[in-house]
Amino acid sequence: MKLGVCYYPEHWPQDQWAQDALDMVDIGISKVRIAEFAWSRIEPRSGEFDWAWLDKAVETLANAGLEITMCTPTATPPKWLIDQYPDIRAWDESGHPRTFGSRRHYCFSSKTYRKESQRISQAIVERYSANPAVTSWQTDNEYGCHNTVRSYSPNARQAFRIWLAHKYKTTDALNTAWGTVFWSQEYTEFDQVDLPNLTVTEPNPAHVLDFYRFSSDQVIAFNREQVDIIRNYSKADITHNVMGHFTRFNHYDLGKDIDITTWDSYPLGFLDQGWWTEAQKQRWMRAGHPDFAAFHHALYRACSGGPRKGRWGVMEQQPGPVNWAPNNPVPRDGMVALWTLEACAMGAEYVSYFRWRQAPFAQEQNHAGLRDHRNITARAEIEAKGLGNFLGALGKQDAAYNKIALIFDYETAWMFNIQPQSAHWNYEALCFDFYTALRRMGLGVDIISPQHDLTGYTVVIIPSLPIIPNDLLERAKAANAHIMFGPRSGSKTSDYHVPQTDPIPGINIIRSESVRASHVFDIEMDEQYYRGHIWRDYIQTDLTDADLTVANLKVEAECDDGTPAFVTSKDYSYLAVVPDMKFLRAVLSYVLDTHDIETTWLAKDVRVERTQTHGFAFNYGSKPVTLRNNFATGKFIQGRRTLPPAGVCVWEL
Ligand code: GAL
Fold of 606-652: Immunoglobulin-like (2.60.40)
Residue of the CA atom closest to atom 1 of ligand 1 = 264
Q: State the burial class of residue 589 (Cβ atoms within 10 Å of its Cβ: 0-12, 13-18, 19+).
A: middle
Q: CA quadruple 470, 475, 480, 482: dihedral positive or negative?
A: negative
Angle between helices 14-26 and 52-63 (to 10 degrees): 30
State the Cα–Cα distance between residues 75 and 152, nearest whole angstrom. 19
Q: Where in the chain is the domain with CATH 2.60.40.1180?
A: 606-652
Q: Where are the beta strands (DSSP E) in 64-183?
A: 67-71, 134-138
Angle between helices 154-168 and 205-233 (to 10 degrees): 100
pLDDT of residue 156: 98
pLDDT of residue 632: 82
State the Cα–Cα distance between residues 382 and 390, nearest whole angstrom. 14
Q: Do the beta carbons of residue 637 and residue 653 sit within 8 Å?
A: no
Amino acid at 482: H
Angle between helices 427-440 and 292-301 (to 10 degrees): 100
Please report which helix (H) or strand (E) contains residue 261, including its range: strand 260-265
Whole-angstrom distance between the N-terminal and C-terminal Cα of the chain? Answer: 19
Q: Where are the alpha helices (DSSP H) in 303-409?
A: 306-309, 335-345, 379-394
Q: Domain 2-36+51-74+117-146+233-394 sits in which CATH superfamily?
A: Glycosidases (3.20.20.80)
DSSP letter for 204, please: -
State the Cα–Cα distance between residues 585 and 579, nearest whole angstrom. 9
Tell which atom from ligand 1 comes closest to the C-alpha of 266. 12
Q: Which of 36, 145, 242, 357 to mutate to test the pocket of ligand 1 (most atoms within 8 A of CB)?
A: 145
Q: Where in the chain is the domain with CATH 3.20.20.80?
A: 2-36+51-74+117-146+233-394
Q: Is the CB of 142 under 6 A from ligand 1?
A: yes
Give the bridge partners for 484, in sequence order. 461, 573
Helix and strand numbers (H, E) in the chain are 20, 25
Q: Is the CB of 266 under 6 A from ligand 1?
A: yes
pLDDT of residue 546: 56
Tell which atom from ligand 1 comes closest to the C-alpha of 324. 12
Q: Residue 593 in 3-state DSSP? A: helix
Name which of 430, 426, 471 is nearest 575 in CA terms: 430
pLDDT of residue 637: 95
| DSSP string computed for 617-638 | EEE-SSS-EE--TTS--S-EEE
Integer angstrom CA distances of residue 52 from 36, 49, 56: 17, 9, 6
pLDDT of residue 545: 54
State the Cα–Cα distance between residues 205 and 612, nearest whole angstrom. 45
| DSSP string computed for 203-233 | --HHHHHHHHHHHHHHHHHHHHHHHHHHHHH
Q: Where in the chain is the domain with CATH 3.40.50.880?
A: 404-594
Name which of 537, 534, 522, 533 is nearest 485 in CA terms: 537
State the Cα–Cα distance between residues 447 and 462, nearest whole angstrom. 10
Q: Do the beta carbons of residue 487 and residue 504 sit within 8 Å?
A: no
Tell which atom from ligand 1 comes closest to the C-alpha of 322. 12
State the Cα–Cα distance between residues 540 and 231, nearest whole angstrom. 55
DSSP letter for 566, please: E
pLDDT lower than 70: segments of the chain = 541-551
Please report which helix (H) or strand (E) contains residue 535, including its range: strand 528-539
Amino acid at 213: R
Residue of the CA atom closest to atom 6 of ligand 1 = 322
State the Cα–Cα distance between residues 183 and 199, nearest whole angstrom. 13
Q: Do the beta carbons of residue 322 and residue 328 sit within 8 Å?
A: yes
Distance of CA 511 to the CA centre of its chain: 32
Q: 63 — phi, psi (to 5°)? A: -60, -30
**Residue 142 appears among annotated catalytic residues:** yes
Give the bridge partners for 513, in sequence order. 536
Question: Between the CA atoms of 452, 456, 461 and 465, what dihedral angle is there, to the nearest 10 degrees?
Answer: 20
Q: CA quadruple 36, 41, 44, 46: dihedral positive or negative?
A: negative
Q: Which of 245, 246, 316, 322 to mutate to test the pocket of ligand 1 (most atoms within 8 A of CB)?
A: 316
Q: Is the CB of 322 under 6 A from ligand 1?
A: yes
Instruction: Given the residues 36, 43, 116, 142, select the one marked as catalytic.
Output: 142
Residue of the CA atom closest to atom 5 of ligand 1 = 354
State the Cα–Cα distance between residues 103 and 140, nearest whole angstrom. 11
Which residues, in sequence order, are CB contacts of 501 under 8 Å at separation 6+?
A: none
Residue of the CA atom closest to atom 12 of ligand 1 = 322
Respond yes or no on whether the N-terminal peptide bond of residue 283 is cis (omega within 30° of 0). no
DSSP letter for 331, please: P
pLDDT of residue 549: 57
Q: Is the CB of 352 under 6 A from ligand 1?
A: no
Tell which atom from ligand 1 comes closest to the C-alpha of 318. 12
Query: Which CATH architecture is the domain 404-594 placed in?
Result: 3-Layer(aba) Sandwich (3.40)
Q: CA quadruple 624, 628, 632, 635: dihedral positive or negative?
A: positive
